């Protein structure tokens, strides 16, 4: 399993047990579930959502609303009667829709939800029995159990207990139902359209305009976000057990002196709910209108958000939705703690129905998740709007001077131009009545909106990884598992164990945990470093495309309307997170060295000279970025030749000097971010299989520095040579090609394409050098020399070593070859001995019968021939091996006897 997908080896997964191991949530673990982080995430979600709905130009459109999936589902169930409709067609459509709703609810509750609960909730929480109804014997017979006690361990092994609700197996199913029912309706509507006439098809277009719908959208979004914020605060403030055990006794005074009184909590909820609804219905329209007028009058259009910034903020809303969902995905995922009540009520569960098995239960655990499931479709719809936004699709135009988006007011004229959902016959009338919006449109390439997609894809990947592998904890546990855990507990509890031995065992466990935490921190740093590096390369490509396709004079250029600034913002944020995690990693390193008695207990990272120097060097390497809102170009003049006339694109400066004038955007200086590739070395070290407390201990016994990245590289190249070779080759190849492409872009050069540059680099690395493409800039040539030639020589050397290593035989192959050689040598020596004896016997017989022919006979020559052959076989004897030495010795004695016999015969 890949390193970026693998789960923690410290996770305890037990089935059919009432004990699970709580992961480390504070102190050493970087947990996104800490209460203050949950509150910050929801507050950010509220603020960014407000900004998105204020600056969205679609809110001013007079076009008809089109909502994929949900609009189709609504029309399939509630569409008004069309002119071509009959009683029969309407009855058929509504009947199918109602039947879909009923069957969809049954299918979701009976099939989908049990599978999700069993896979995502019970086993991932280490408690397979939470989804099974249980009963106990009482004087009146069997009675159903509504709660169960779950034991866990917090930071430092402190035990604590939580009573969770298990009185119904349906809690949470209503959330899945209302999320999936529109999908079922849309699917059945698509099948209905395949058989219905074209004029009766169910579409996603609603009988309302965007300008009429968006006040309701803003009001609903505000109310939902406000309820989400209050519900998150309420749930965390009530969960005093986990706040005290896991979250450093968060807000202890406020929880115990204010929030534990139920009348305070319930009164605050209904006051907040009433205030939100009243403000959204009465005050929000006036506030929004006043805010919009103030922007039109006092804010220049040059700072209005363009489509890239609107897409980025919409992507941030979806990202925060998923983050809040991940924060709420905590143990017990589908079971609500007994001491946490539903916001606004004085009970922890509300049940519909008397049958224990089939009653529908509402608990506090699914409140936050339910609100997110309601908000997520709306936020995704807004994001898709911004990613695919074109003014013509919404009956809007762009002002030529300011590029401000304006919306047509005449709905009759607009409807006459409509050709379907998000379709109008263009261009729109130039002199139509329009109203301004708070957005601008530059029609830049789609790559400038890619940061929004990066945010969503990255957080969705983390969410899926957490659900699939992280055992509902998201940070590392401080406990061991299985037999190791049992033996460790027995050793600590043994009465005959000296106190010093107990301390050593505790220290050993702490060292193992600190090593895992450092590896986890390194993985986070690698992800953030490579994420920023990829964004930098995409930023440079986006800037290049805009400069090629659009002249600088066609749009008002400033800090917020320059291509690539959305990338710069994400790079800046990811760099801040990287620096924070880097500081945490060095603290873990110091803790490890202290536990291994290599540093004194009072040493800090800033007091130790070598650690301080290493930290400063890495801070400089990771902070080397171009900050956002820093725009412009710098000029590089490269001398080419002496001439009185300079061919294009050379420029003459002075009387007889030709220069190549290159204009690079300031963002090109971000190429120094390639220094972050040193994190790959630590990634190799952490996942080479030779990292950890035990390996370091063995290395210290043999005077080997196992912390050295070079040692780990040699180890992985020895055990996985193909992987090491391919990794080094691909990194060198791609990095060099991208660097050459970026440096050549100011010129009309074929190497400004990454694919062409990759062809040139791979030919150079292979030492072929066709010469069909060559870099023209000095920077491009330097990068080619460093990456293509020097890097190519190193890669070719690795390939040679890999090839020669592949020709080496293994120990088993050596044994087979030795046995084959020995058997062949044994047969030849036996044959030679037999021939020698036969020649000696023949020679002896001839001496007795024909003494005069001995000197001239062939028999004498054959005798010496076989004697020489026996001597050569003895000199080249195959005597190595495990089981063949004794056989060789025996055969030597037999051959010696044959030679003595031949000598006696002669």
For residue 880, being part of any structural domain is answered with: yes
For residue 537, being part of any structural domain is answered with: no
CA-CA distances (angstroms) from residue 514 to 396, 589, 717? 58, 8, 27
**439 lies in which domain range?**
35-68+134-167+204-443
Domain boundary, last residue among 403, 423, 443 = 443
d(CA 893, CA 342): 95
Q: At residue 903, does pLDDT exceed 70?
A: no
For residue 596, being part of any structural domain is answered with: no
d(CA 46, CA 50): 6
DSSP letter (8 states) at residue 556 = -
Q: At residue 186, does pLDDT exceed 90?
A: yes
pLDDT tens per residue across span 579-625: 999 999 999 889 888 888 888 888 888 888 888 999 999 999 999 99
- Reduced to 3 states, what is the DSSP secondary structure of residue 86? coil
Could you tell me which of 882, 861, 869 has the C-alpha nearest to residue 825?
869
Q: At residue 478, does pLDDT exceed 50?
A: no
For residue 347, being part of any structural domain is answered with: yes
Pairing of strands 423-424, 633-642: unpaired
Residue 754 · residue 767 · CB < 8 Å: no
How many CB atoms within 10 Å of residue 427? 9
Residue 441 · residue 389 · CB < 8 Å: yes
pLDDT tens per residue across span 243-284: 887 777 888 888 888 888 889 999 999 999 999 999 999 999
Token pair of 246 as six digits:
């896991």
Pairing of strands 64-66, 205-209: antiparallel
For residue 15, being part of any structural domain is answered with: no
- Lowest mean pLDDT segment, chosen from 166-175, 646-655, 705-714: 166-175
Phi then psi for residue 105, to 5 deg, are -65, -45
Mean pLDDT of the region 755-776: 82
How many CB atoms within 10 Å of residue 135? 11
Domain boundary, last residue among 396, 414, 443 = 443
Phi then psi for residue 525, to 5 deg, are -60, -40
d(CA 342, CA 318): 26
Burial of 246 (0-12, 13-18, 19+ CB in 10 A): buried
Q: Which parts of 155-209 fold into alpha helices (H)?
A: 173-195
Q: At residue 475, does pLDDT exceed 60?
A: no
Mean pLDDT of the chain, nearest integer = 79
Tell me, what's the pLDDT at 568?
92
Mean pLDDT of the region 774-801: 81
The number of helix segments (H) and strand segments (E) in the chain equals: 28, 16
Could you tell me which of 480, 530, 481, 543 has the C-alpha nearest to residue 742?
543
- Lowest mean pLDDT segment, chosen from 353-357, 380-384, 789-793, 795-799: 353-357
What value does the CA radius of gyration of the chain take, rounded to a whole number of Å? 39
Sign of CA dihedral 63, 68, 69, 72: positive
Tell me, what's the pLDDT at 5?
40
Mean pLDDT of the region 545-551: 76
For residue 391, being part of any structural domain is answered with: yes
Could you tell me which of 742, 690, 684, 689 has the C-alpha nearest to residue 713?
684
Tell me, what's the pLDDT at 144?
53
Q: At residue 492, does pLDDT exceed 80?
A: no
Split into its structural domains, the chain has a count of 2
Could you tell me which of 439, 415, 396, 143 has the C-alpha nearest to residue 309?
439
Could you tell me which of 421, 378, 423, 424 has the C-alpha nearest to residue 75?
421
Could you tell me which of 536, 620, 616 has the C-alpha nearest to residue 574?
536
pLDDT tens per residue across span 443-474: 888 888 999 998 999 888 888 877 776 543 32
Token pair of 325 as six digits:
């969902």
- Reduced to 3 states, what is the DSSP secondary structure of residue 651? strand
Residue 732 · residue 700 · CB < 8 Å: no
Burial of 737 (0-12, 13-18, 19+ CB in 10 A): buried
Tell me, what's the pLDDT at 26?
34
pLDDT tens per residue across span 873-889: 877 766 555 444 444 45
d(CA 265, CA 277): 19
Residue 307 · residue 207 · CB < 8 Å: no
- Which residues, listed in sequence order, are joined to residue 351 by a DSSP beta bridge? 361
Q: Locate tokens 């699917």: which residue?
A: 187
Mean pLDDT of the region 195-202: 88
Half-sphere exposure of 338 (CA within 13 A, CB side): 13
Domain boundary, last residue among 397, 420, 443 = 443
Of the two residues 420 and 232, the one the predictor is more confident about is 232
For residue 567, being part of any structural domain is answered with: no
Mean pLDDT of the region 410-414: 84
Confidence of residue 215 (pLDDT cuts 50, 70, 90): very high
Tell me how many degrees the CA angle 291-295-300 measures, rounded to the nearest 5: 170
pLDDT tens per residue across span 48-76: 999 999 999 999 999 899 999 999 999 99
pLDDT tens per residue across span 501-545: 777 777 777 788 788 888 888 888 998 999 999 999 999 988 888
């Amino acid at each position: 399993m890949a390193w970026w997908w693998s789960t923690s080896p410290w996770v305890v997964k037990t089935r059919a047990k009432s004990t699970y191991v709580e992961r480390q949530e504070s102190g050493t673990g970087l947990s996104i579930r800490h209460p203050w982080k949950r509150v910050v995430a929801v507050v950010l979600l509220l603020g960014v959502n407000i900004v998105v709905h204020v600056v969205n130009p679609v809110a001013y459109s007079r076009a008809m609303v089109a909502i994929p999936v949900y609009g189709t589902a609504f029309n399939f169930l509630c569409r008004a009667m069309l002119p071509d409709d009959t009683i029969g067609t309407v009855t058929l459509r509504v009947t199918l829709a109602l039947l879909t709703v009923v069957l969809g609810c049954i299918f979701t509750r009976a099939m989908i939800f049990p599978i999700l609960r069993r896979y995502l909730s019970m086993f991932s929480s280490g408690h397979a029995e939470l989804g099974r109804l249980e009963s106990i014997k009482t004087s009146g017979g069997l009675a159903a159990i509504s709660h169960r006690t779950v034991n866990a361990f917090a930071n430092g092994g402190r035990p604590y207990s939580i009573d969770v609700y298990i009185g119904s197996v349906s809690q949470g199913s209503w959330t899945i139902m209302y999320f999936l029912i529109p999908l079922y309706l849309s699917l059945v509507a698509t099948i209905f359209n395949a058989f219905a006439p074209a004029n009766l098809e169910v579409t996603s277009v609603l009988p309302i305009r965007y300008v009429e719908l968006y006040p309701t959208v803003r009001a609903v979004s505000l109310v939902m976000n406000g309820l989400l914020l209050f519900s998150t605060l309420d749930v965390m403030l009530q969960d005093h057990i986990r706040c005290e055990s896991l979250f450093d006794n968060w807000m202890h005074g406020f929880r115990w002196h204010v929030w534990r009184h139920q009348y305070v909590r319930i009164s605050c909820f209904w006051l907040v709910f009433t205030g939100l609804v009243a403000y959204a219905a009465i005050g929000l329209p006036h506030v929004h209108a006043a805010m919009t007028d103030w922007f039109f009058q006092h804010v220049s259009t040059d700072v209005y958000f363009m489509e890239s910034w609107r897409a980025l903020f919409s992507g941030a809303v979806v990202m925060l939705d998923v983050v809040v969902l991940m924060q709420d995905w905590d143990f017990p995922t589908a079971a609500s703690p007994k001491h946490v009540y539903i916001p606004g009520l004085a009970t922890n569960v509300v049940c519909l129905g008397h049958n224990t098995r089939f009653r529908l239960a509402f608990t506090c655990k699914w409140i936050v998740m339910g609100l997110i499931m309601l908000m997520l479709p709306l936020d995704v719809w807004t994001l898709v709007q911004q990613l695919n936004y074109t003014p013509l699709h919404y009956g809007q135009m762009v002002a030529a001077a300011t590029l401000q988006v304006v919306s047509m007011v005449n709905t009759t004229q607009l409807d006459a131009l409509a050709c379907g959902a998000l379709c109008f016959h263009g261009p729109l009338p130039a002199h139509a009545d329009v109203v301004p919006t708070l957005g601008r449109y530059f029609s830049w390439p789609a790559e400038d909106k890619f940061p929004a997609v990066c945010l969503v894809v990255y957080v969705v990947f983390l969410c899926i990884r957490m659900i699939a592998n992280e055992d509902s904890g998201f940070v590392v546990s401080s406990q061991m598992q299985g037999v190791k855990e049992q033996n460790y507990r027995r050793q600590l509890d043994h009465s005959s164990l000296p106190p010093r031995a107990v301390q050593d065992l505790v220290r050993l466990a702490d060292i193992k945990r600190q090593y895992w935490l450092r590896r986890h921190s390194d993985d986070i740093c690698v992800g953030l470093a490579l994420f920023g590096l990829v964004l930098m390369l995409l930023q440079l490509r986006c800037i290049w495309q805009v400069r090629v396709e659009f002249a600088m004079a066609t749009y008002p250029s400033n800090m917020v309307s320059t291509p690539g600034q959305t990338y710069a913002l994400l790079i800046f944020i990811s760099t801040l997170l990287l620096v924070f995690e880097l500081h945490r990693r060095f603290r873990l390193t110091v803790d490890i060295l202290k536990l291994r008695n290599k540093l004194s207990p009072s040493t800090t990272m800033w007091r130790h000279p070598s650690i301080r120097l290493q930290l400063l060097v890495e801070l400089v390497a990771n902070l080397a970025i171009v900050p956002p809102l820093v725009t412009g170009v710098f000029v590089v003049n490269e001398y080419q030749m002496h001439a009185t006339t300079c061919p294009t694109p050379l420029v003459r400066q002075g009387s007889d000097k030709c220069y190549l004038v290159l204009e690079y955007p300031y963002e090109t200086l971000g190429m120094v971010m390639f220094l972050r590739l040193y994190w790959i070395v630590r990634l190799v070290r952490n996942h080479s299989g030779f990292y950890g407390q035990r390996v370091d201990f063995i290395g210290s016994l043999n005077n080997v520095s196992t912390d050295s990245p070079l040692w780990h590289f040699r180890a992985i190249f020895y055990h996985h040579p193909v992987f090491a070779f391919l990794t080094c080759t691909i990194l060198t190849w791609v990095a060099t090609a991208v660097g050459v492409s970026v440096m050549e872009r100011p010129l009309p050069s074929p190497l400004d394409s990454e694919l062409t540059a990759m062809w040139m680099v791979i030919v150079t690395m292979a030492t072929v050098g066709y010469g069909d493409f060559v870099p023209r800039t000095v920077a491009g040539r330097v990068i080619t020399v460093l990456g293509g030639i020097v890097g190519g020589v190193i890669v070719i050397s690795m390939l040679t070593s890999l090839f020669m290593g592949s020709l080496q035989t293994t120990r088993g192959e050596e044994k087979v070859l030795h046995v084959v050689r020995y058997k062949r040598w044994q047969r030849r020596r036996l044959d030679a001995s037999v021939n020698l004896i036969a020649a000696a016997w023949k020679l002896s017989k001839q001496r007795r019968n024909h003494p005069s022919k001995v000197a001239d006979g062939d028999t004498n020559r054959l005798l010496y021939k076989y004697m020489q052959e026996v001597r050569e076989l003895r000199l080249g004897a195959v005597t190595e091996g495990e089981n063949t030495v004794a056989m060789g010795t025996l055969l030597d004695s037999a051959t010696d006897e044959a030679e003595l016999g031949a000598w006696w015969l002669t």
